[in-house]
């Protein structure tokens, strides 16, 4: 017999198997020997009450009969060597990978064309970037096998629940090697050290079923005939012909946006957010969030999510990484971009998060001065983003040394004479962030810092450092598409997909969008819906 229980228990009871079992037997009023198995369904930490931190746990308990050990029905794939249809997927990030897996499920052959390197060679390029400040424009935190997802933090939660089946995406990650806990925790996290193996396992599965995942092939041209793309051409001159083309190139593929623009194919400027990455000692964030000087080792390093409106403009924390480090995420030399990640144990002594401000087309227009730019330019926000990144690079005196300021100095508008120790390996240099950020961003951030300091007592502190620039929060460009067919309005066999096309903002939503686009293609080719 299976019982579902809702528990509200202490961390000790939740994370000690013996104690957990005794809670289950008490709740069901049965002897523990009758419990043959249990499966956690949901779990979240409730730290609202300082003296009573509780774990909310939903669990399925089996009594007196063999438990069902299968967590879910695993997904299987068809062999597509001789498939009737093939699809070119430009970009092998989460959107491209999950589109490929879904196409395989349907019996359609995916051919992924990816500009970057496989995960291990890519790791060497990341090391070089961190140590020497040299950016490989084809192999970095954004480009390479698995896209920006591979060396990301691996937080697998999203607010886009309407865009697809989140649980299916989590199950697929689990099927490829992610730990069980991602299936039930309210804020699932994999960690940068575990993601690369999972991504490689996905690629190998695609290849084992007759799909193709080509590396170090940058798409440089798309040849149209009438309303269709007929040929996809790479930098080495290779040419592919396909029934459909998925554009899953991520938010940093500026050359793809430029290619569309040069061909007069529709694009739209898309509002995004820009600011800094802020880093605190993790112990400080723990003490604020758990209301105790020292975190109970049973509890995870604390996180936060902050949002405020300042004069109708949003300022918010973004991609918070407890126990993480700040990483250089530029995709070209001469730009300074930062992001954050953490290992699965989240055991670094720092806590970092993006702290960013909404940016719209009119902001970029004013920034450049109305005479020098065209307000209708769909790439205006991309140009704005790049201009700030280049400015930050120059202020940081090159080699990816990041301009930074003590949080309290930034709020007081005074230069920092020293900086807190920071996890960012290429190094930081004290500067006035107002020299990089446009006024509307700097002033909104300043007010945001004050408001966040009131919400989280101790957050506004001289122990925190703000590092420029957090600029790749989402795509500054949208590639429009038909709401149901998901095709580009002018190119009937082109499917804009994932974060770069403006339809996702993170790993899970990009993966779900990949699946949606694959479903739309399968439907068009007449494959059964299921
Ligand atoms: C350091 C870091 C930490 C992050 N942490 C998280 C997190 O914790 N949780 C979360 O949800 N998200 C996180 N993200 C964001 C997440 O990685 C992205 O939202 C997600 O990867 C977007 O998926 P995508 O497939 O749409 O695009 P991408 O992952 O960007 O993939 C696009 C791919 O296209 C390839 N490409 C581009 N141009 C071409 C071309 N011309 N020819 C061939 N290939 C091309 C690129 O090389 C790349 O591999 C993080 C990102 C970074 C950089």
**What average pLDDT score do residues 87-94 get?**
98
- 46 pairs with which residues across the strands? 54
DSSP code at position 33: G
70 belongs to a structural domain: no
Residue 139 is predicted with a pLDDT of 98
Pairing of strands 272-281, 86-90: unpaired
Dist. CA 49–CA 45, nearest whole Å? 11
* 350 and 461 part of one domain: yes
Please state, in angstroms and as integers, the Cα–Cα distance from residue 406 to each residue in 49, 66, 442, following that order: 31, 58, 14
pLDDT at 51 over 80: no
Please tell me the distance between residue 31's alpha carbon and the centre of ligand 1 in angstroms: 50
Which atom number of ligand 1 is nearest to the Cα of residue 147? Answer: 49
Pairing of strands 228-234, 35-46: unpaired
Dist. CA 493–CA 246, nearest whole Å? 8
388 belongs to a structural domain: yes
* 274 and 263 part of one domain: no
* 100 and 171 part of one domain: yes
Can you spell out the DSSP letters for 368-433?
A: H-TTTS-TT-TTHHHHHHHHHHHHHHHHTTSTTPEEEEEHHHHHHT---SS----S-TT-EEE--G
DSSP code at position 434: G
Whole-number percent of the chain with pLDDT over 70 = 100
| Contact predicate 172/75, CB 8 Å | yes
* 275 and 359 part of one domain: yes
- Protein residue whose Cα sits closest to atom 11 of ligand 1: 506
* 406 and 300 part of one domain: yes
Q: Taken in order 438, 440, 441, 446, is the CA torsion positive or negative?
A: positive
For residue 490, give its domain range.
Answer: 86-267+479-524
340 belongs to a structural domain: yes
Q: What angle do CA 41, 343, 125 make, to 5 degrees?
A: 135
Domain limit, last residue, from 470, 496, 511? 470
Pairing of strands 477-478, 313-322: unpaired
With cut-offs at 50, 70 and 90, classify the pLDDT of residue 189.
very high
Enter the tokens of residue 426.
Answer: 């290429």
Pairing of strands 109-113, 86-90: parallel
With the most atoms of ligand 1 within 8 angstroms of its CB, the residue from 158, 229, 250, 328 to mutate is 250
With the most atoms of ligand 1 within 8 angstroms of its CB, the residue from 249, 254, 494 to mutate is 249
pLDDT at 371 over 80: no
Residue 527 is predicted with a pLDDT of 94
Dist. CA 209–CA 81, nearest whole Å? 7
With cut-offs at 50, 70 and 90, classify the pLDDT of residue 47.
confident
80 belongs to a structural domain: no
pLDDT at 48 over 90: no
* 147 and 34 part of one domain: no
Dist. CA 98–CA 504, nearest whole Å? 13
- 356 pairs with which residues across the strands? 275, 316
Residue 50 is predicted with a pLDDT of 72
pLDDT at 105 over 90: yes
| Contact predicate 46/54, CB 8 Å | yes
74 belongs to a structural domain: no
Average pLDDT, the chain: 96
- Protein residue whose Cα sits closest to atom 35 of ligand 1: 91
Q: How many domains does the chain have?
A: 3
Residues in contact with ligand 1 (CB, 6 Å cut-off): 90-96, 113-116, 141-144, 147-149, 152-155, 218-219, 248-250, 253, 255-256, 319, 327, 329, 339, 341, 498-500, 504, 506-508, 510
* 212 and 146 part of one domain: yes
pLDDT at 142 over 80: yes
68 belongs to a structural domain: no
Which atom number of ligand 1 is nearest to the Cα of residue 339? Answer: 1
List, for residues 299-338, the tens digit of each pLDDT value: 999 999 999 999 999 999 999 999 999 999 999 999 999 9
Residue 448 is predicted with a pLDDT of 98
| Contact predicate 374/364, CB 8 Å | no
Residue 240 is predicted with a pLDDT of 96
Please tell me the distance between residue 474's alpha carbon and the centre of ligand 1 in angstroms: 10
pLDDT at 159 over 90: no
* 441 and 317 part of one domain: yes
| Contact predicate 303/323, CB 8 Å | no
With the most atoms of ligand 1 within 8 angstroms of its CB, the residue from 159, 220, 507, 517 to mutate is 507
| Contact predicate 252/386, CB 8 Å | no
CATH code of the domain covering residue 258? 3.50.50.60
Which atom number of ligand 1 is nearest to the Cα of residue 321? Answer: 8
pLDDT at 530 over 90: no
pLDDT at 293 over 80: yes
| Contact predicate 206/104, CB 8 Å | yes
| Contact predicate 271/505, CB 8 Å | no
List, for residues 387-444, the tens digit of each pLDDT value: 999 999 999 877 899 999 999 999 999 999 999 999 999 999 999 999 999 999 999 9
List, for residues 435-446, the tens digit of each pLDDT value: 999 999 999 999
Enter the tokens of residue 523.
Answer: 């439907």
Residue 158 is predicted with a pLDDT of 87
Dist. CA 183–CA 435, nearest whole Å? 45
**What average pLDDT score do residues 7-20 get?**
95
DSSP code at position 144: S
Residue 280 is predicted with a pLDDT of 98
Please tell me the distance between residue 415's alpha carbon and the centre of ligand 1 in angstroms: 35
Can you spell out the DSSP letters for 197-225?
A: HHHHHHHHHHHHTT-EEE-S--EEEEEEE
530 belongs to a structural domain: no
Residue 70 is predicted with a pLDDT of 82
Q: Which residue has the higher pLDDT, 160 or 78?
A: 78
List, for residues 340-365, the tens digit of each pLDDT value: 999 999 999 999 999 999 999 999 99
Please tell me the distance between residue 155's alpha carbon and the centre of ligand 1 in angstroms: 13
* 281 and 146 part of one domain: no
Please state, in angstroms and as integers, the Cα–Cα distance from residue 152 to each residue in 158, 190, 213, 319, 404, following that order: 15, 9, 20, 10, 22
* 253 and 380 part of one domain: no
Residue 149 is predicted with a pLDDT of 95
Which atom number of ligand 1 is nearest to the Cα of residue 234? Answer: 42
pLDDT at 210 over 80: yes
CATH code of the domain covering residue 51? 3.30.70.2700
Please state, in angstroms and as integers, the Cα–Cα distance from residue 109 to each residue in 82, 94, 201, 240, 473, following that order: 8, 17, 18, 13, 32
* 244 and 278 part of one domain: no
75 belongs to a structural domain: no
Residue 31 is predicted with a pLDDT of 96
Other Cβ atoms less than 10 A from the Cβ of 297: the count is: 7
Q: Is the peptide bond before 247 cis (omega within 30 degrees of 0)?
A: no
Torsion of CA 358, 323, 198, 175, to 10 degrees: -90
Dist. CA 105–CA 139, nearest whole Å? 30
Helix (H, G, I), strand (E, B) or coil at 106: helix
Closest by alpha carbon to 20, among 11, 448, 29? 11
Dist. CA 287–CA 264, nearest whole Å? 54
Residue 161 is predicted with a pLDDT of 76
- Protein residue whose Cα sits closest to atom 46 of ligand 1: 143
Residue 315 is predicted with a pLDDT of 98
* 282 and 421 part of one domain: yes
């Amino acid at each position: 017999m299976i019982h579902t229980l809702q528990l509200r228990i202490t961390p000790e009871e939740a994370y000690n198997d013996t104690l957990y079992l005794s809670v289950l037997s008490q709740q069901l009023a049965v002897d523990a020997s009758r419990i043959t198995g249990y499966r956690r369904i949901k779990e979240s930490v409730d730290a609202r009450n300082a003296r009573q931190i509780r774990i909310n746990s939903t669990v399925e308990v089996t009594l007196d009969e063999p438990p069902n050990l299968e967590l879910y029905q695993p997904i299987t794939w068809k062999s597509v060597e001789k498939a009737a249809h093939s699809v070119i997927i430009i970009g092998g990030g989460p959107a491209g990978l999950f589109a490929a897996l879904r196409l395989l499920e349907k019996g359609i052959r995916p051919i992924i064309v990816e500009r970057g390197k496989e995960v291990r060679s890519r790791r060497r390029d990341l090391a070089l970037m961190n140590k020497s400040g040299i950016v490989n424009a084809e192999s970095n935190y954004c480009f390479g096998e698995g896209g920006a997802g591979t060396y990301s933090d691996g937080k697998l939660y999203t607010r886009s629940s309407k865009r697809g089946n989140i649980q299916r995406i989590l199950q697929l990650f689990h099927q490829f090697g992610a730990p069980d806990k991602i299936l039930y925790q309210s804020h699932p996290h994999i960690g940068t050290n575990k993601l690369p193996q999972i991504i490689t396992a996905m690629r190998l599965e695609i290849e084992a079923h007759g799909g193709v995942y080509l590396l170090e092939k940058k798409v440089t041209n798309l040849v149209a005939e009438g309303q269709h793309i007929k040929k996809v051409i790479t930098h080495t001159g290779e040419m592919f012909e396909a029934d459909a083309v998925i554009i899953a190139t991520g938010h940093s593929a500026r050359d793809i946006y430029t290619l569309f623009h040069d061909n007069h194919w529709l694009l739209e400027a898309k509002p995004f957010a820009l600011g800094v990455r802020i880093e605190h000692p993790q112990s400080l964030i723990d003490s604020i969030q758990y209301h105790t000087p020292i975190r109970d080792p049973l509890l995870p390093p604390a996180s936060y999510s902050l949002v405020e409106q300042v004069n109708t403009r949003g300022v918010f924390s973004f991609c918070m990484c407890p126990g993480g480090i700040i990483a250089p995420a530029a995709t070209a030399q001469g730009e300074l971009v930062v992001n954050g990640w953490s290992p699965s144990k989240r055991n670094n002594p720092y806590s970092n998060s993006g702290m960013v401000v909404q940016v719209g087309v009119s902001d970029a227009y004013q920034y450049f001065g109305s005479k020098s730019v065209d307000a209708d330019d769909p790439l205006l926000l991309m140009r704005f983003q790049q201009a700030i990144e280049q400015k930050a690079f120059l202020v940081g005196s090159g080699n990816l040394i990041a301009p930074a300021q003590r949080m309290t100095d930034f709020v007081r508008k005074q230069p920092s004479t020293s900086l807190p120790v920071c996890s960012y390996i290429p190094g930081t240099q004290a500067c006035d962030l107002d020299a990089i950020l446009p006024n509307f961003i700097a002033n909104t951030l300043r007010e945001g810092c004050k408001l966040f300091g009131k919400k989280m007592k101790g957050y506004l502190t001289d122990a925190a450092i703000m590092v420029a620039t957090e600029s790749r929060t989402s795509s500054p460009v949208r590639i429009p598409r038909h709401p149901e067919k998901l095709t580009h309005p002018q190119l009937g066999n082109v499917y804009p997909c994932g974060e770069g096309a403006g339809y996702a903002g993170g790993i899970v939503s990009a993966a779900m969008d990949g699946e949606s686009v694959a479903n739309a293609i399968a439907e068009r080719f007449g494959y059964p819906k299921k």
